[in-house]
Every structure is written in C-alpha cells, then in structure tokens.
Structure 1
Amino acid sequence: MRITEATDAFARHLTDVRRLSPATVRAYRSDLADLADSVGDAPLDEIDLEHLREWLWRATKRGDARSTLARRTAAARGFFTWASESGLIAADPSLRLVAPKRGTTLPRVATADALGAVLDSLQQTAAEGDPVALRDHALLETLYGAGIRVAELCGLDLDDLDHARRTARVTGKGSKERVVPFGAPAAVALDAYLVRGRPALLARGDDPTGERALFLGARGRRLGPRAAYDVVSRTLGPVVGSAVGPHALRHSAATHLLDGGADLRTVQEILGHASLGTTQIYTHVSSERLAATYRLAHPRA
C-alpha cells in the first residue's frame, strides 16, 4: 500500500479515534500529500528514515517555518505509527525522526487601553442599529471577554449561552467542552445583537426557523472562521498589526488576566489548554512588559 492509498483511512483514525480538529486533519493530509510527492508515492514498506529526513531537509531548504516542520514531523510519526499498529508495515521508519526545535515567539497582544478604545468605537457604531455592526461588536467583545478560539466562537449555538451566569459552553480541541465566563460589556453587546441584530440577519437566510447558530453571516447562516477572521483583521489590524487575527484577542485576554493578578491555573482553565506549559508563554509576555516599564521608570535601570 502507498501513502496516497492509506491517507483516507488515517484521516478517519485521526477524526474518530484521536478526535483531532478538522483543521489539524486537513493539515496532516496536506503534509502526507507532500511526503508522497517527495518519495514518489513509493510503497509504505520501502520508505525508510533517510527518505523522511530528505523530505524534511527539502522543506527546510524552501524556507518552511519551524512550526510547519514540527507539524510535518508529527504527521509522519503519527502516520507511520498508525501504519505499523495496523499491520500495514513491519517496522516504523519514523521512530528516530527528530522534530526541529521551535523558536520561542511571543504572541502579539494589544494593550488594554487600545482594545478599550476599539471596542468603544464599535459600540458607538453598533448603536446606529445596523445588524452587521451589532454582530461585529458582540463578536469582538465575546472573543476578548471570554478568551476563546475563533472556531469555538463560530461553533456557539443560542443554547450555549447562560445569560444569568454570564457564561458560555464552548467545544474546544478534541471535542472537549468547557464553560467560560464573559464580562458585563460582552453581555450587553450580546443582548443588543440578539434583540436587534441577529433577527435581521436570520431573516436573510433560507430557513429562518432552523438556524441555531449564535453568530450569523450576512446571508443568515452560521458565521465561518474565515469571515470572523476578516472582521477582526479589519477592526483590530490598525491597532496591533496588518496580519492580526482573532487569536490576538485570545492572547491579549490571557496577558491582561495575568497582568490583573489571575493565577496561571485559572487562565489555563479559561483558555482550555491541556498543558500548563502552553499557558506559561503569557508569563513571558507580562515579564517583557514589566522589564520595559522598569527600564523606562527606574533611575538606575
């Protein structure tokens, strides 16, 4: 059997057994297609460690990011481990395949004052009653207020909100559910959107009675991550940078929570990180800010 022939079965394994997100499965499919092209789609039992190292070396030479190389290594390891356990190959050639070390890149964040100004401006625009403006204000307030991922936001249904407790039930990576709080500004924005914005957007759809999604697109259907990214990039880009997306709001929320005195475990629970180590990067962001303030303010810095 060849890589291209086994990819569909491996993708089902990733989805049904390992419960990986659709985005991760698509990325792994792309990685395996690239590997198949590199080895000429040779039979699985003819691929050895040197083939895999050559594949990664080519990716390095064409300038792939370290994070991409690390993911490709993980894709190859996962694929050949699965193939070995499934009896498709006698030995796993990826056992000694080493992933390149990732560089430490601090997440891009906006200051609390800058975000406050952006959100206040959105609130003023939404007050005019345009349904898309009402949605955009509620969308950014929810992303920042709850610190959730864009896929989690787009997956929210009406029943996932608890208005009395100001919490949302979100489904994160690996189909794991968690309940996250959101603040009063997000609650106000959501209420305005649900009363005046969402019904107008819903009326534009084909089936106004069947759509349960919280956030809707301009045609009355569930808002997709790409459209949400465009909203955030258009609104927040001038504040943080031209390439900013919804994750910048998540990074900002985590950093501002730590700056405000929240403990690391609490932030981990809110963000839905499986490992505390993933959350710890935000302590570096806060430390950088602390050091910058010290250098500017202390006479002996």
Structure 2
Amino acid sequence: MASAGTALTKPILAPVGTSSAGQDRHPWSAVVARYGDHLALERGCSEHTVRAYLGDVGELLDFLAARGRTDLAEVGLAELRRWLAAQQDDGAAAATLARRAGAVRGFFAWAKDNRIVPVDIAGGLRSPKVGRALPRTITRNDARELLDAAAAAAAEAEGPRGARDVAILEVLYGSGIRVSELCGLDIGDIDAATGTVRVLGKGGKERVVPLGVPALRAVDAWLAQRPQWARPASGHAIFLGVRGGRIDPAVVRRVVHTALRAVPQAPDVGPHGLRHAMATHLLEGGADLRSVQEILGHASLATTQIYTHISDERLRAVYRQAHPRA
C-alpha cells in the first residue's frame, strides 16, 4: 500500500481558493502526512479508514485556513465548535457530525503527544448523540433461499465463477467475517480439519472463526476450479478475480447484491447484511453474546449487543401479530 501520508492526503493539500496546481500549499500538509502515516503504520488502520479520517481532518483544516489560521497551536476549542456548527447548519446528519468530531479528537490527541500543539483542545469537543438504528438483516429462510439459488445457478453455469460466488456467499454467512477480511484470505488460512478460518481483522488483530461444513465444501469446490484463473500474481489468495488477481471488495459486494435479487422478499442488505444475519441467527439459536463478540471481532461487547435488540424486536413483532390482546 502507498504511504498513507503521501498518497492519501493529496485531496486536502491545497488551501481553499487555490487550484490543485497552485504554488501555495496547505500550511499543515506535512502534519497531515505524518498523521496519515501514524494511522496506517502505527495504528494499523485500513486504507479506507485512513482516507475517512484524513478527509474529516482535512475539512477542518481547510475551514481554519480559510479564516487565516496558520498555526495549530493558536486554534481554540471555540473554533472547532464553530466548524461543527457550520456543518450542522448545512444539514449534516448527527452520525456524520459524530464521526467528524471523533476524527478531530484523535488528530489533536496525536498532535499533543507529538508536541505539535501544547494542549489537546479537542478533548472537550462534543457532537450530537446518535441513535443506534437496528441494521436490516435477512431471515433464516432468506439465507437458505439465497444459498440454494446461488448453488443452483453455479450448477448450470460454465467456468469457475459460479463456484467462486457460492464459496464467497457461504463463507460470508457461515463465518460473519467482513468483506475486507474475506478478500485478504490466503489458502493456508482455512483449516478444514478443525473447521476454522484465521482472519486478520481491524487494527491487524488476528482471530480464529468457526466455519461450517457447507462453507468448507463450497471452498473446496472453488479451489478445484481456481487454477483456471490463477496467475503468477495470484499468490496464495483464496478468492480471485477473473484476471487472476486477489479479488476486490467491490466485486464481492456485486456478487452479494446479485445473489440477493434471487430472493424477492429479502432486503438488499449487501455483504455486511450477511454478517448481521449470521450474528442475529446465532443469538436466536441460543449462542451467548460473548462468543458472538469473539466471532465478529468486536472490540467492545456493546457493539455486539445491538443484535440482541434485533432479536427482541422480532419477538415483539411476533407478539403484536399473534396475541389477541397485544
């Protein structure tokens, strides 16, 4: 991956009002570059996360530069609050404001630790509380129909694509791993003897996740056809694109969205929806919350608890529909 501090900061280097080819450079470009390197190399953030953080920080710095600020040490908390207030006036959602405030707090904490600013002024920056919406998910029957339809389509198709797509769907639903984690899998990461898959998750943290028999069979069926697409550049990647390279997350998303269209009553939840479904179905089947947390790789149990809310809401919906005095 390219250096986060160079490649990822290009969109925010030019000050407001200058062209991308202008001679003036953003007064904080070097600081942003260092922060990008810190996120990528020291904290192990993904490229997507680094881009998001630097984008939020860049919007603040552009706001400050447009108001004549050239020294971060002179910026006060009031200016950070004005920046958030301006975005709120422009219609930014509470979730967006919360994310941007968090990114700025992280940036100034790092700047204080690295003696770029004398005081961490952003520690007191608050944003609107965000209500946690329940994620959309699919039912057990939806999941069964989805996988059966994909298998039937693969049986009729020519070439490796169908087998690969079935394996992708089975692994995503069977293990609950993220798209980025699936794309990063190598052949040695799956242990058929123990029925597990080794995953490198957020922040470079490794975990071992159970994988069911249908998923293991689907992976075996795909690996038998993988040589048709494999190239020297394929390395040990399990899932490949048609040109032989490691599969791209956008391709995985397209596979899932296409497969979901075969189940008319199912919401188009995408790959992350299969992760939600897996967690919800585990809890509905009696799994304990702590085990589901470990499987999903959540740092906090509070993140996993949302799936209990989904199950509770389903119980209430069934009650309201079935009970004569509901």
Map of 1:228 onto structure 2: 252
Aligned residues: 295
Tell me the TM-score normalised to structure 2 length: 0.86
The answer to whether the aligner puts 1:241 opposite 2:248 as a matched pair is no
Percent identity between matched residues is 51
Asked if 1:170 is matched to 2:196, the reply is no
Which residue of structure 2 lines up, in the alignment, with residue 141 of structure 1?
Answer: 170
Secondary structure of the 1:39 match is helix
SS in 1 for 2:277: helix
Mapped to 1, the partners of 2:184 and 2:211 lie a distance apart of: 16
What one-letter code is carried by the residue in structure 2 that aligns with 1:165?
Answer: T
Indicate whether 1:194 and 2:219 are aligned.
Answer: no
Match 2:48 to one of 23, 27, 32: 23
Structure-2 residue corresponding to 1:250:
275
What is the DSSP-based 3-state SS (H/G/I as helix, E as strand, rest coil) of the residue aligned with 2:124? coil
CA contact (8 A) 1:20 1:173 kept: yes
Greater Cα shift, 44-53 or 64-73? 64-73
Aligned runs of 1:152-171 on 2, under 5 Å? 152-171=181-200
1:98 maps to: 126
Q: CA deviation at 1:219?
A: 0.9
Where structure 2 has 5 or more consecutive residues not aligned to the other structure, the ranges are 1-25
Provide the rounded CA distance (Å) in 1 between the counterparts of 2:81 and 2:241.
44
Of 82, 95, 100, the match for 2:110: 82
Residue 137 (structure 1) shift = 0.7
Structure 2: how far apart are the matches of 1:66 and 1:286?
26
Partner of 1:120: 148
* Alpha-carbon distance, 1:21 to partner: 2.5
Tell me whether 85-94 or 133-142 shows the greater mean CA deviation: 85-94
Task: Give the root-mean-square deviation of aligned CA atoms.
Answer: 1.7
Q: 1:30 to 1:249 in 2, by over 3 A?
A: same
Residue matched to 2:11: none
Amino acid at match of 2:285: G
CA contact (8 A) 2:137 2:267 kept: no
Equivalent of 1:60, from 88, 111, 130?
Answer: 88
Q: How big is the shift at 1:239?
A: 4.7
* Structure-2 residue corresponding to 1:295: 320
How much has 1:66 moved relative to structure 2?
Answer: 2.5
TM-aligned CA deviation for residue 130 of structure 1: 2.8
Query: Residue 264 of structure 1 aligns with which residue?
Result: 289
Q: Which amino acid aligns with 2:267?
A: G
Q: Deviations over 1:2-53 (max 9, x none)?
A: 4333111011112232222222111111111111221126321222112211
What's the secondary structure of 2:115's corresponding residue? coil
The answer as to whether partners of 1:3 and 1:32 remain within 8 angstroms in 2 is no
